[in-house]
Amino acid sequence: MAGTFDYVVVGAGSAGAAVAHRLSADPELRVLLLEAGAEDERPEIHRVDSASVLALLTSEWSPQIDWGYATEPEPGLNSRTVPIARGKVLGGSSSVNALMWVRGARAGYDGAVANYRQIVLAAFQQVEDNIVALRVLDSELGHDQRASAEADEAETLATMQYQAGTTDYTAVVVAQNTALAARRAAVQAARDRQVALVDLVSALGGGWTAQQLASK
């Protein structure tokens, strides 16, 4: 990439992406963020269910997003080596982690930050507010997706009953319309959640712009 930069940040993981985002908030500065891994295109990276999180590091494509580190053979483990996961992808290890949130221990900030309450605690609370807001949206989306699945099942049942001669065709049409409406509601809920997620991540100061996230 041609040009000169005021700052070069190496690694678009948790720390690098946040630092580059904060620096580039100043329009006077040119900031280059370098990442060794590829784009975070795999859908599993953007899901939060446990199966997707497990797949991130155990599937055959995991070498595409992991550095593949392992310990030396461990004498205490019958000379086995132990894999040490580290994300090699846009977002770094935050793209492959388990999404568990734990506040840093207060003692860890002693001496490093003058005003713990205003700076560190306020940042923790901002993260937690965003997590709560996202959970509400997840729950609404889950509700709409379950309603859609149930309406699909009801449609299948009505069709089978019609074929067996135990219901009339009107019941099938009603079930079809209900299922269609439920599917549309679930799609809309997914879109609403995506838009809100973009807003939340932008507010939090994540490494991606709202436009980049919206294109995913």
Member of 13, 137, 158, 175 binding ligand FAD (CB under 6 A): 13
Are the C-beta atoms of residues 17 and 208 closer than 8 Å to each other? Answer: yes
Tell me if 86 contacts ligand FAD by CB under 6 A.
yes
Tell me if 207 contacts ligand FAD by CB under 6 A.
no
Stretch that binds ligand FAD, among 84-92, 178-186, 191-199, 208-216 (CB under 6 A): 84-92
Six-digit token string for 16: 């690098």
Tell me if 37 contacts ligand FAD by CB under 6 A.
yes
Member of 11, 20, 45, 182 binding ligand FAD (CB under 6 A): 11
Tell me if 206 contacts ligand FAD by CB under 6 A.
no
Stretch that binds ligand FAD, among 96-104, 138-146, 152-160, 208-216 (CB under 6 A): 96-104
Please, which of residues 127-186 interact with ligand FAD by CB under 6 A? none
Token look-up 């205003």 returns: 118
Q: Rounded to an integer, what distance in angstroms lies between the CA atom of residue 96 and that of residue 74?
A: 25
Measured from the CB atom, the residue of 129 and 150 that comes closer to ligand FAD is 129
User: How many chain residues are in contact with ligand FAD, going by CB under 6 A?
Assistant: 25
User: In whole angstroms, how close is the CB of 43 to ligand FAD at the nearest point?
Assistant: 18
Measured from the CB atom, the residue of 85 and 180 that comes closer to ligand FAD is 85
Six-digit token string for 37: 């891994």
Helix (H) or strand (E) holding 213: helix 210-214
Are the C-beta atoms of residues 109 and 116 closer than 8 Å to each other? Answer: yes
Tell me if 15 contacts ligand FAD by CB under 6 A.
yes
Q: Comparing C-alpha atoms, which of 83, 90, 85, 11 is closest to residue 46?
A: 90
Torsion (CA) 14, 129, 189, 210 in degrees, nearest 10: -40
Q: Comparing C-alpha atoms, which of 207, 200, 203 is closest to residue 24?
A: 207
User: In whole angstroms, how close is the CB of 195 to ligand FAD at the nearest point?
Assistant: 25
Q: Rounded to an integer, what distance in angstroms lies between the CA atom of residue 14 and that of residue 23?
A: 15
Residues present in the chain in total: 216
The residue ranges that bind ligand FAD (CB under 6 A) are: 10-16, 34-37, 57, 85-88, 92-94, 96-100, 102
